[in-house]
Chains A and B, each alone.
Chain A
Amino acid sequence: MTYFAGFILLAGAMLLGAPGSSCADAADRHAVPRARLVREIAAMAAQDQAETGKPSISPRVMEALARVPRHKFVPVEHEQRAYENRPLPIGYGQTISQPYVVALMTDLLQLKPGDRVLEIGTGSGYQAAMLAELTEAVFTIEIIEPLARRAEAMLKNQGYGKVQVKVADGYYGWPEHAPFDAIVVTAAASHVPPPLIQQLKPGGRMVIPLGSAFMTQQLMLVEKDGQGRVLTREILPVSFVPLTGKH
């Protein structure tokens, strides 16, 4: 059953990979590696599902992954590595996360078309592009100005012009556009800024990857329920059980 689901996902991703490439660049030599990456991630997600029974990455997220040209969001010297399932440096001591982890994070947000989503830490702009594939209203804040400018230009250039980019301190969120259905905090912080929790809608979801450059240790999902109470879930990207053997 799970393998079957994986297959459908896989086939869907391959189908989507091809037409997606034609709109970006007629002779997109990255289409093939991108499709390969999507297949790889689909297979791993299917394996994870088989092992743990948790739901796989949603088809919409997989479609987005198959469409966004990651190679446009990494520095030129890393273009050839853009479709390897690995984090890459983007300068200024910042990185672009491993695609598998980006897919998981995006999936955790459970975005519906029309949702308002805020991103803290634009970085390369890749995550924002992924979000823009899933919803109309994407707002992203970056503190390092050259990064923000580069990401903004690339987003526009790749047809994600509706993404709003701002150079600012992400701590205070973006009150003018609040409340948000979803928030992603990729910028390092020692705690979750209270203003961001306030700007999350009841029923909204916030995802925070914890870790260091090149290493996403765990994902924290902050959920605000209908009464405004805040609960978190701590999620390992991998299915990993700390005990061997059975009782």
Chain B
Amino acid sequence: MPAPLVSVGLISAAVLGYQLLLMRLFSIVYWHHFAYMMISLALLGYGVSGTVVALWRERLSRHFPVAFVINAALFGLAQVAAFQVAQRVPFNALEILWDARQPLFLLLLYGLLFVPFFFAGNCICLSFVCCNAATHRLYGADLLGAAGGCLLVMALLFLLPPLSALRVIAALGLLAAAVGAWRLRLGPRLAAVLLALALALPFALPAPVGTPVPNEYKSLSRTLQIGGARVLEERSSPLGLLTVVESPRVPFRHAPGLSLNAAGEPPAQLGVFTDGEGFAALTRFDGDFGKLAYLDMMTSALPYHLLKAPHVLVLGAGSGADVLQALSHEARRVEAIELNAQMVDLVRDRHAGFAGDVYRRPGVQVHVAEARGFVAASQERYDLIQVALLDAFGASSAGLYGLSESYLYTVEALQDYLRHLRPGGLLSITRWVSLPPRDALKLFGTAVVALEHEGVAQPGNRLALVRGWQTVTLLVRNGEFGAEDVARIRAFSDARSFDIEWAPGIAAWETNRFNRLDQPWFHEGATALLGEGRAQFIERYKFNIAPATDDRPYFFNFFRWRTFPEILALKGRGGLPLLELGYPVLVATLGQALLASTLLILLPLRLGRAQPPAVPRTRVFAYFAALGFGFMFIEIAFIQKFTLLLPHPLYAVAVVLCAFLLFAGLGSRYSERLQGGVWRPVLAILPLAASYLLLLPWLLRFAVALPDALKIPLAVVLIAPLAFCMGMPFPRGLAALASHSPSAVPWAYGINACTSVIGAVLATLLAIHLGFSGVIVLAAALYGLAAMAFPNHGGGAVSTITRSGKSDNRSGRNGSGQA
């Protein structure tokens, strides 16, 4: 049987593209952690295909060409259909803890989205079963296709709105069917019909609506309910969908945390929403700074009262509010960093007139870059580094991560910022007030640790924390605050009815005066975090406020199991908002995936009539499960590690994922020539992983100053050898199995598919607790386990070294970076 290599490559490309696209689409419709949950579960469609093929292997094998082409065609069609139907499911994530029907709707969504993955999985699994002489090349095609799909969808998302991109990706499925029909000799006519269908699909469907409809409780939807509000334009990219809205009848008047003593009304504004949330205000500016007086009535204005004509670096420039604030306080120079080029374009070009050319004013410079990397690479020193109130825009709105990693608020990040301050310079970070305090105290503790790491003996003398009714601003000074500084902080706060929660020499009675809490939580927390009992305080606190680090970059995860039952018991008394949903959703995703996978893996054993394989099933299971987990762990940890090196998180995903898939694919093809078990690649993987673990932090620190053009090749060079070796074990194991127990091939495939899905979710969960270094160590151990369990016939763990077999790992597809 000729192996449909090109077809398999196309299907893999479409699957990966579809997966990233769904993430994009559902981040617009829902919220990203729910999008992540749905897609992870839907990916188990791959596991189901393993089960189905295992149960009906013989019948399906007899009609392989027809079965392959039908499944490929159905895959193409189901991609569009599943999403269209899914949009009609009235799932409301916000009601999930209130409404018993919501989990059922969610289940329905899994069921719908699972269909296309199931068809695609059938094609690939059947190919492995029926063309087992080509296992290595098939797996290679699978991985190379996925690498191509990753690049394709990134490009598509820059060029087309996401719904149009969906049609192109769906057409790819039909194209795979056409190529398959020709290759498997089902006649040129069928191939031609399918080809025509593939070409027609993007155009034949009713005109694509520009964007999917966001949930009615998202800020954008709620804004559009107001009379007169309308969408001016939309910009879409892999970083998110930007929607510009004007609301002339009820102006936006966005001024978060504005002092209650403020008198005026903010000028006219346009609203810029990211994925229907994350409101940013584009403020009209006509050159009259008097109209911007309100910007001085927010906690974030504090640093300007301690500095004269500062040189400012704004991290997270967004739609320009912080730049305006700097200008209205007579900043000498303002450099602003923004991740999303389309956002910059909106302010600098498209609405330049409205925004008063704020990004082109003398002294203002805007850079499109990832903030952290920009600072690390910068040779400048600033009087003020202002971290704007944009919540991890890059990570969360890209929707690529379940629990958003953020490298803006880690201990190392703060150290980086501090090193780029002039003597007497200030780092200023503003966060929302959450009660009981979470962000603010975590941030304060992070600053204390960062200062200690920088060798500061009395961190408390360099810190100030000011709280308004809705926002809180932390100042960290390069040098100690003097009495005059503290007097200015007092004057600033008193005039605006803000509370000083920490400043050198501040007494407890001076805190918690204007915006009173039951207990002076902020001041008590700050004092505890500066004292001897810091570790104990963090331990006793009911939310996770331990400082985030680059290895565990989960600033936004405040969840603690210990508090979970208490909060649930307070549901009736309005206690649910205390629940930080991200983590429980991740755990729920993992639990569901585990349950479903267990069923899928056990089912063929119960129902199947095939003979048992020639090697113990536990070994087959251990081998393919270890590879599924191991591959995902390494891949996801590396995407994270490289986020710090590459100038943009999109590059991190695209470059790292593609490099992994590409070189693993090449490794798979190469492994055909390899003799023996898989000890050789595994013995290469172990030291490589270990050396990266040790060298990477140092290497990244050194490399961050390199020009961008060199960073990408450097990342690829670092990934290539590891990925190359990681591409070998799966096809070798599968080929070994095919040689003595062909009936176990689909089962092994299913195990690997399931564990890859679980592995992606688990990697994030483990990183929260162990850090990404821990995840890499675990992955190495799993590869060791796989080498011991290599499923060759007649050999125990040791003899695998001498026997020849064929094998490797296929988790790449699911590795698509949904973690």
Contacts and interface: CB of A to CB of B under 8 A. Distances in A.
Contact of A192 (B92, B260, B575, B577): B260
A57 to B, nearest CB: 11
Contact of B437 (A89, A190, A238, A242): A242
Nearest to A88: B98
A237 B573 contact: yes
Given A215-B577, A217-B577, A192 B258 contact: yes
B217 A240 contact: no
B574 A191 contact: no
Interface in B520-542: 521, 537, 540-542
B361 to A, nearest CB: 25
A100 B541 CA distance: 27
Contacts of A144: 225-227
Given A143-B227, A145-B227, A236-B435, A169 B514 contact: no
Contacts, number: 149
A234 interface: yes
B264 interface: yes
B62 interface: no
Contact of B514 (A214, A220, A232, A237): A232
B263 interface: yes
Interface stretch (B231-239, B246-254, B403-411, B790-798): B246-254
B776 to A, nearest CB: 33
Nearest to A198: B263
Contact of A197 (B221, B260, B264, B435): B260
B258 A100 contact: no
Interface string B509-523: 000001111110100
Contact of B540 (A93, A193, A240, A245): A245
B98 A87 contact: yes
B543 interface: yes
Interface in B469-526: 469-470, 497, 514-519, 521
Interface stretch (A131-139, A152-160, A205-213): A205-213
B578 interface: yes
B610 to A, nearest CB: 50
B453 interface: no
B260 A222 contact: yes
Contacts of A89: 92, 95
B699 interface: no
A48 B518 contact: no
Majority-rule SS of B interface residues = loop
Interface in A209-229: 210-218, 220, 222
Contact of B260 (A217, A230, A241): A230
A40 interface: yes
A40 B30 CA distance: 33
Interface string B198-224: 000000000000000000111001100
B273 to A, nearest CB: 13
Q: Size range of the interface on B?
A: 35 or more
Interface residues of A, number: 55
B572 A40 contact: yes
A45 to B, nearest CB: 8
A214 B253 CA distance: 24
A58 interface: no
A243 B540 contact: yes
Interface in B379-438: 433-437
A223 to B, nearest CB: 10
B272 to A, nearest CB: 14
Interface of B: 92, 94-95, 98, 216-218, 221-222, 225-227, 249-251, 253-258, 260-265, 433-437, 469-470, 497, 514-519, 521, 537, 540-543, 562, 566-567, 570, 572-578
Given A100-B573, A243-B541, 11 more contacts: A93-B225, A190-B258, A191-B258, A210-B470, A217-B577, A233-B515, A238-B573, A240-B436, A240-B542, A240-B575, A241-B542
10 contacts: A40-B572, A98-B574, A194-B262, A194-B264, A214-B95, A231-B497, A234-B516, A238-B573, A238-B574, A242-B436
Interface of A: 40, 44, 48, 85-87, 89, 92-95, 98, 100-101, 104, 143-145, 169, 171, 188-194, 197, 210-218, 220, 222, 230-245
